Structure 1
Amino acid sequence: MIQDIAPHHLDNAYRPVPPDRDSIALCYEGRACLMKRAGEEIIFPRFADLEKENTEIYKAYTYLFQVDEERYYLVTEAKWDCLSDFELEDLTVFRQAEPQYRAFAGITGHQLYHWYQAHRYCGQCGSPTKPDGKERMLYCETCRSMEYPRICPAVIIGVTDGNRLLLSKYAGRTYKKYALLAGYTEIGETMEETVAREVMEEVGLKVKNIRYYKSQPWAFSDTILMGFYCDLDGADEIRLDEEELALAEWFEREEIPVTPSRDSLTNEMIMRFKNGRI
């Protein structure tokens, strides 16, 4: 999966040390990231690339994390017109870009960028927020409220019936490939209750034997995904929620029309069933 970057290691401890010329600058605009290509690899700009046209760059930055010995910083006010070989690319590039550890850094950085952008002002009184010096937190000097990065819990659901797996396609989304059922956890629910509710809401089926498989950070939607398998309990007739899904259908293990990809928990769970490991 996208976070499996060994032997590299992402250290997300908050250590707001100043950048140097070799530090990596992550620059975003909406859902796009500044990068260049070197053959099959993506490369992010370093502070040395930006310093000539951005004299304040060593003062206006936000420490993000470290991958191995390289430090990554968020830079939001830099001019990059001078970098003719760099360009903005949509975040979807990170699902397949190489090297994988750099792609994971790029999408994780965007999750933090989105959080910082969305919390520039206090949600209680509207005053500007300020970064804390000891932990990754924004605080309001006026009303003393504090904001920490938000992570939304969600489930990925592999519904099985003997040798069959239920696959679906989302309605109204650009992603058109087969997927598993999924949904966000509501206040007051356990993860297992979310699984049962989402399956009933989206396809009208009852399930039993709900069992946890694995989790995945999914920065594309500020989410922590938790994968579960469960068994059909009763009738297999699908009653589709057409607002959420374009289709849902049962596939025999040998006929599942999905091939391996490196990025998602969904794909790993489908391939695990397809290959007879569940």
Structure 2
Amino acid sequence: MIQDIGEHTFDNQYHPCPPDRESYALYYEDHAALVRKYPDRIEFPKFRDIERLNEDIYEDAVYLFSIDGERYYLVEEINRERQSHFTMENTEIFRYAEPQYLAFAGITGYQLHNWYQSRRFCGKCGRRMKKDSKERMLYCESCHNMEFPKICPAVIIGVTDGDKILMSKYAGRTYKKYALLAGFTEIGETLEETVQREVMEEVGLKVKNIRYYKSQPWSFTDTLLMGFYCDLDGGAAITLDREELAMAEWFQRDEIPVEPERDSITNEMIIRFKNGEV
């Protein structure tokens, strides 16, 4: 999965020290990130690459995290040279770009960028928010409101019936590949209750024997995904919620039209079932 970066060490502790010329500068605009693309890899700019046209870049940078001791910072409102080798690329590039640890850095930085952008002002009194010096938190000096990074819990659901698994495709989304059922946890709801509710809402089925698999941070949508397998409880006839899903079908293990990919827990759960590991 995208966060599995092997021997590389990711440190997300907040250490608000100033950057130097060799620190990495992560810059985003809407759904795009500033990267240099090679045929076989990507690269992020370092401060030395963009300092000439950005005199205040060292003062305005926000510390994000480190990987293998190398520090990554968020920078905003920079000037870019027209002939620069760095270009704005859609953040979907981080689903497949190499090396994987840089793809993970890029999408994790994007999640924090979105949080900082949406928390400029206090949601309680409207005053300007301030960055804390000890932890990754924004606070309001006026009403003392505190804001921490946004993380939304959601479930990925592998509904099985013997040697069959239920797979679906989303309605109205650019992502057209096969997926498992999924949904966000509501207020006052356990994860297991989320599994039962989402299956009933999306395909009209009851499930039992709900069992946790593993979790995954999914920074593309500010989400912490938690995977569950469960068994069909009763009839297998599907009643499709067409507002959420374009299709949902049962697939035998040996007929699953999905191949292994590196990025998502959804793919990993499908492949485990396909290989007879569930």
Partner of 2:103: 103
Whole-angstrom distance in 2 between the partners of 1:6 and 1:81: 35
Residue identity in the other structure for 1:94: F
Partner of 1:217: 217
CA 1:64/1:256 → structure 2, altered by over 3 Å: closer, same or farther? Answer: same
Whole-angstrom distance in 2 between the partners of 1:82 and 1:45: 15
Partner of 1:121: 121
Provide TM-score, normalisation by structure 2. 0.99
Residue identity in the other structure for 1:205: L
Alignment of 1:1-278 (within 5 A): 1-81=1-81, 84-278=84-278
Residue identity in the other structure for 2:109: G
1:39 CA drift (Å)? 3.0
Whole-angstrom distance in 1 between the partners of 2:38 and 2:247: 40
Whole-angstrom distance in 1 between the partners of 2:81 and 2:149: 31
Percent identity, aligned pairs only, is 67
Whole-angstrom distance in 2 between the partners of 1:245 and 1:39: 35
1:56 CA drift (Å)? 0.8
Whole-angstrom distance in 1 between the partners of 2:127 and 2:147: 13
Residue identity in the other structure for 2:114: H
Whole-angstrom distance in 1 between the partners of 2:130 and 2:79: 23
Deviation track 1:92-111 (CA, whole Å, cap 9, x = no partner) reads 00000000000000000000
**Structure 2: segments with no counterpart, 5+ residues:** none
Deviation track 1:141-195 (CA, whole Å, cap 9, x = no partner) reads 1111110111000000000000000000000000000000000000011100000
Residue identity in the other structure for 2:50: L
Secondary structure (helix, strand or coil) at the match of 1:59 reads helix
Residue identity in the other structure for 1:243: E
Deviation track 1:186-231 (CA, whole Å, cap 9, x = no partner) reads 0011100000000000000000000000000000000000000000
Secondary structure (helix, strand or coil) at the match of 2:59 reads coil
Deviation track 1:229-251 (CA, whole Å, cap 9, x = no partner) reads 00000000000000000000000
**Structure 1: segments with no counterpart, 5+ residues:** none
Residue identity in the other structure for 1:142: S
Where does structure 1 differ by over 4 angstroms across 4 or more consecutive aligned residues? Answer: none
Residue identity in the other structure for 1:225: L
Whole-angstrom distance in 1 between the partners of 2:155 and 2:218: 11
Whole-angstrom distance in 2 between the partners of 1:185 and 1:123: 23
Residue identity in the other structure for 1:21: R
**How many pairs align?**
278
Whole-angstrom distance in 1 between the partners of 2:25 and 2:180: 36
Whole-angstrom distance in 2 between the partners of 1:39 and 1:246: 35
Native 8 Å contact 1:49 1:83 kept in 2: no
Native 8 Å contact 1:53 1:82 kept in 2: no
Residue identity in the other structure for 1:90: N
CA 1:87/1:150 → structure 2, altered by over 3 Å: closer, same or farther? Answer: same
1:257 CA drift (Å)? 0.5
Residue identity in the other structure for 1:61: A
Whole-angstrom distance in 2 between the partners of 1:121 and 1:102: 31
Provide TM-score, normalisation by structure 1. 0.99
1:82 CA drift (Å)? 5.0
Deviation track 1:68-95 (CA, whole Å, cap 9, x = no partner) reads 1210000012112356211000010000
